[in-house]
Amino acid sequence: MGFVAKLCMFLLGYQCSFDLHTSLVTHHAKLKGVRWLLSERTDSWGWGTRKEAEAVMALQLVNDKWYRPSKPGPAATVKEMNLDLLAAISKYPKLDTQDWYGGKLGQYVNALVATCQDPSDFYGHNLIDILSGHMDGFPKYYFNHNFAYSWAVLALCNAGLTVQEKYIQQLTKTPGNYTFGVDEAAMTVIALSCVRNQTDVKSAISAGVQFILDNKKPDGSFGNEYTTGLAVQALIADDKQTRRKIKKEALLRLVEKQGQDGSYDSVAAANQIFPALNRKSYADIGSISSCQQVTTTPAPTTPPASFFTFRINVIATLAPHNVNESFTVTVPDGSSLLDAMVVLRDTDSNFTFTSKESSFGTSISSIQGIASDPDARTYWRSAVAPDTALTTSVDGFFPTAGMTVIFSLSTY
């Protein structure tokens, strides 16, 4: 094997499909992009409510060894993703709400598969059954178009299940007609490529691919960054080895759009782009190599998740503040105080906080927009009611059912 071929194999990990220049620049863009994406995480190690799944999928498709339970950063991010989902289940056991119905749940099931978790036994909850129920109820809420429906089909396929014909028919009955344009066509192609061996699928894939190609722009893109990333994923999902020039032009346009720091216009756009830069699509989630582990004994069944409820009181009466508020939060057993605060912030827009890391753990920087102030010698004191001060950081304290935790702005 020649030097160029060896270098290409080293950079991309599979048979080289592009010239060396394209391979080098996309590889560099991918590395910069991942660093930027990770830097965009909040102090709770996620990207915001219901945004973790897409980012986690992108990171695993760029590097399927990114997540390991032993790696603190990735483990914290996946934990945040799981908490996001568990918090929703605690309120809506069937996730029968417009925020989670169908497409969003499909994204989270795909992300669980990407991180080697079992969506049919997610802390005792069978998310596959819940998702299938959503699909049987299609159309409903915002789950009423094929873009979202494709995520659900992908979830079942990537989880290793045989997707029922009735679910596939929703994506094949009107080939070439896409309410949301290239985005919907691309997601449809990606989903159908995962079930390409089932009946009447190939012609629908061809119609979707042709729609995408018909919407190619003169500069080689397919629209904005988000759309172009999805379009390239679809062309890769259809056939990794064909249309190389078209894919190359689109990838180079995406590289040109990248900021010097690896950024794109949004995290949402980056999540679609990074798998494409690695010549992967969402249809590859089910074959992530780090999750392909053969075991000779059945995996232990996870006991059903149980939840507990406690209160968080916020008091700030030092001038000029006048805050006295109380919040109730429900979280899975074993959650730390920090976990609970993140869940509360994500589910109640009336509660806000920021935190910072130190060698002593996580400390609270601000609550309700009121920051601790070294110059004024103020800080947020934490205590269990009536007045037992916490002796550990918020990530090391584990509240119990019925407890009241008080945060009070105090002086020292």
Residue 152 and residue 260 in one domain: yes
Residue 180 and residue 241 in one domain: yes
- In this structure, of 160-174, 289-303, 391-405, the range with the lowest mean pLDDT score is 289-303
Residue 316 domain-assigned (yes or no): yes
Give the separation between CA 369 and CA 310, rounded to whole angstroms. Answer: 22
Collapsing DSSP to helix, strand or coil, 365 comes out as strand
Name the token pair of 93: 């056991």
Domain boundary among 238, 265, 291: 291
Tens-place pLDDT, residues 94-115: 999 989 999 999 999 999 999 9
Residue 361 domain-assigned (yes or no): yes
Residue 257 and residue 341 in one domain: no
Residue 366 and residue 273 in one domain: no
Residue 313 and residue 249 in one domain: no
Binding-site annotation: residue ranges for cyanocob(III)alamin: 183, 224, 272, 390
CATH code: domain of residue 14: 1.50.10.20
Domain span at residue 323? Answer: 307-411
Instruction: List all residues 6 or more positions away from 84 whose beta carbon is below 8 Å from its beta carbon.
Output: 46, 49, 50, 52, 108, 343, 346
Residue 271 and residue 352 in one domain: no
Residue 265 and residue 405 in one domain: no
Please list, residue by residue across 24-56, b when 16 or more beta carbons sit within 10 angstroms of its beta carbon and e when fewer do.
Answer: ebbbebbebbbebbbeebeebbbbebbbbbbbb
Residue 78 domain-assigned (yes or no): yes
Binding-site annotation: residue ranges: 183, 224, 272, 390
For the beta carbon of residue 70, count every other beta carbon within 10 angstroms: 6
Per the CB < 8 A criterion, the answer to whether 152 and 103 are in contact is yes
At 70, is the pLDDT very low, low, confident or very high (cuts 50, 70, 90)? confident
Residue 193 and residue 327 in one domain: no
Domain boundary among 291, 324, 349: 291
Residue 253 and residue 333 in one domain: no
Tens-place pLDDT, residues 133-161: 999 999 987 789 999 999 999 999 999 99
